[in-house]
Structure 1
Amino acid sequence: MDIQLINIGFGNIVSANRIIAIVSPESAPIKRIISDAKEQGRLVDATYGRRTRAVIITDSSHVVLSAIQPETVAHRFVVSKDPQGNNN
């Protein structure tokens, strides 16, 4: 299995194979997920002090905060593969 990496802003990269969801941080359930992850030491803040715009949830229950829009992260996720499923 190839390792596919996604740029989530400011030179930070996440393994695309481990991503379960990319969501917006505004809802109360997502805010609870963020606070629970922070308490349990599973939160990775990759915003560099900027406003959180995307929350990335991984299969290891880690939560990654990003300062770029969820649509932008998702677009990078999708276009990083060609139609045959090979890495670009």
Structure 2
Amino acid sequence: MNIKLINIGFGNIVSANRIISIVSPESAPIKRIITDSRTQHKLIDATYGRRTRAVIITDSDHVILSAVQPETVAQRLLNKEDLTEE
């Protein structure tokens, strides 16, 4: 199994194989997911005090907050997959 790593900003890296979704934090259901994961101690805040722009949900039910736009994280994920297939 190849381990693919994605930079989510400020030197933080997430395993691409574990990512289920990358979403914007604006909607009420996503805000609820963030609150629930915080109470369950499954929230990872990688924003370094900046505004949350992307919420990454993993297959282990961890929720990761990133200050990078969701489109940017998705593009990095797609570029990483393109490189590993060659």
Matched, 1:73 2:73: yes
1:4 corresponding residue in structure 2: 4
Give the structure with the higher percent helix: 2
State the partner residue of 1:45: 45
| Rounded Cα–Cα distance in structure 1 between residues aligned with 2:65 and 2:77 | 16
> TM-score w.r.t. structure 2 length?
0.96
Paired residue secondary structure (2:57) = strand
Provide the aligned C-alpha RMSD in A. Answer: 1.2
Give the alignment's TM-score, normalised by structure 1: 0.94
Aligned residue type for 1:53: R
Deviations 1:48-88 (A, max 9, x none): 000000000000000000000000000000001227725xx
CA distance in 1, matches of 2:51, 2:23: 14
Aligned partners of 1:69 and 1:84: how far apart in 2?
23
The share of aligned pairs that are identical, in percent, is: 73
Deviations 1:13-41 (A, max 9, x none): 00000000000000000000000000000
- List alignment gaps of at least 5 residues for structure 2: none
| Corresponding residue of 2:27 | 27
Hey, what does 1:61 align to over in structure 2?
Answer: 61
Structure 1 gap segments, 5+ residues each:
none
Look up the equivalent residue of 1:8 and give its one-letter code. Answer: I
